[in-house]
Amino acid sequence: TYPRKARIFEVGARDGLQNEKQIVPADIKVELIERLVDAGVSAIETGSYVSPKWVPQMADTADVMSKLTRRDGVTYAVLTPNMKGYEGALASNADEIEIFSAASEIFNQKNINCSIAESLERFAPVTEAATSQNIPYRASVSCALGSPFGEEITPQAVADVSKKLYDMGAYEISIADTIGVGTPIKTKKVLEAVAEVIPLDVIGVHFHDTYGQALANYHAALEMGISRLDSSVAGLGGCPYAPGATGNVATEDVVYMLDGMGIESGIDLPSLVKTAWFISDYLGRPPVSSVARAMKGK
C-alpha cells in the first residue's frame, strides 16, 4: 500500500553540486537552499565536511552553513565521513548528520579509502558522539543495486550493511543506487531483503537516474509503503567516485509523480521548477528533468 505522505530529503546542494565541474560559490548555494526551503522542502542536505582535496566542491560548507537564514521546522543536514567532519557539523550547528558506507568493497575503498568493516569502525566514535549530543543521524548504503566496478551486489550484502548501520543507531537507512542501474523488480528484491532485517519505516531510497529507471524504482518503493525519498533539484549530481554515474532523480519529477498519486510532500511544484531553472541557468545548461522543462515559465 502506498503511503499517504512522503518525506523528500533534498540532496541537490550536496550530492548534486559535489559532482559539478565548476565550483559553485557559497552565495549561490545559499540562494539555492533558501529557494528550496521556500518551495516547501523540509529536509535538506546543505553540504559535506569531507576532505577538500577529495571533494573541492564542498570545501565551503562551513561558509554556506553560516550564511543560511535558518527556518523553523526545517532540517539542515550535512554529510560527515569521520570525527573531523563531525566536529565541522557541530561547529556549524547542523540539525543532523549523515554517515555512509556501501555494499561494494571497491567503491568504499575509492570513496573513503577504507573497507566496509573499517568504515563502520570509523563511524563508531561519530555515532557515539552524536548520540550523546542528541544529533540525529541517518546512514546511507551506496551501490545497493550495482557497483561501478562490476562486482555482483547481492540483496543479502545490502541487508547486512543496513542492519549494522541501523544497530549503530541511525534513524534512517537510505538505500542508494549510486550508479542508477536498478530496475523495479530487482529494486523490490533488495528492499524486501532490507525490510527483513530492519523496520520498513526507517528505510529510505536514494536512486540515481543514469539509465532512466529512477521513477519506476521510486514507484516500486512507494508500493511497498516506503515514504523516505531522496532526490535532487534539477537532477543535479552524480558521485565523484562512481565513474559514469549521472544525477539523482530530479525532485520535480518525483513531486509531479507524488502529486498525481495524491501522496502529500508539502512541496509546491511551480516554485520548485523555478528553483531548478535558477540553478540550471547558473550552471549554463537546462535541467535534465522532464517536468522542469515541460513547466518552464508556468
Q: Does 17 bind ligand HMG (CB under 6 A)?
A: no
Nearer to Mg ion, 289 or 295 (CB): 289
Residue 165: φ, ψ to 5°: -70, -35
As a whole number of angstroms, the distance between CA 64 and CA 203 comes to 29
Query: CB of residue 211 vs Mg ion: minimum separation in angstroms?
Result: 15
Query: CB of residue 99 vs Mg ion: minimum separation in angstroms?
Result: 14
Considering only residues 2 to 41 of the shown chain, the ones binding Mg ion according to CB under 5 A are 15
114 catalytic per annotation:
no
Per CB under 6 A, the segment of 36-44, 77-85, 186-194, 254-262 that binds ligand HMG is 77-85
Q: Does 81 bind ligand HMG (CB under 6 A)?
A: yes
Nearer to ligand HMG, 36 or 249 (CB): 249
Helices (H), 101-208: 105-112, 116-132, 155-167, 184-195
Which amino acid would we find at residue 243? P
Q: Does 209 bind Mg ion (CB under 5 A)?
A: no
Q: Around Cβ 150, how many Cβ atoms within 10 Å?
A: 8
Q: Does 55 bind ligand HMG (CB under 6 A)?
A: yes
As a whole number of angstroms, the distance between CA 144 and CA 178 comes to 7
CA angle at residue 13 from 263 to 26, to 5 degrees?
145
Q: Which entry of ligand HMG, Mg ion, none binds 84, CB below 5 to 8 A by partner kind?
A: ligand HMG
Query: CB of residue 176 vs Mg ion: minimum separation in angstroms?
Result: 6
As a whole number of angstroms, the distance between CA 131 and CA 182 comes to 34
Query: CB of residue 266 vs ligand HMG: minimum separation in angstroms?
Result: 23
Q: Which entry of Mg ion, ligand HMG, none binds 142, CB below 5 to 8 A by partner kind?
A: ligand HMG
Candidates 17, 239, 258, 291; catalytic one: 239
Q: Which entry of Mg ion, ligand HMG, none binds 26, CB below 5 to 8 A by partner kind?
A: none
Binding mask 150-179 for ligand HMG (x = CB under 6 A): --------------------------x-x-
CA angle at residue 45 from 40 to 50, to 5 degrees?
170
DSSP state of 58: G
As a whole number of angstroms, the distance between CA 54 and CA 58 comes to 9
Q: To the nearest 10°, the Cα dihedral for 53, 94, 241, 16?
A: -110
Binding mask 224-263 for ligand HMG (x = CB under 6 A): ---------------x-x----------------------
Q: CA-based Rg of the chain, rounded to a whole angstrom? A: 17
Which amino acid would we find at residue 272? L
Grid cell in block for residue 94: 547542523
Provide the binding-site residues for Mg ion, judged by CB under 5 A. Answer: 15
Query: Where do contacts with ligand HMG occur on this chain (CB under 6 A)?
Result: 15, 18, 48-51, 54-55, 79, 81-82, 84-85, 100, 111-113, 140, 142, 176, 178, 206, 239, 241
- Catalytic (active-site) positions: 239
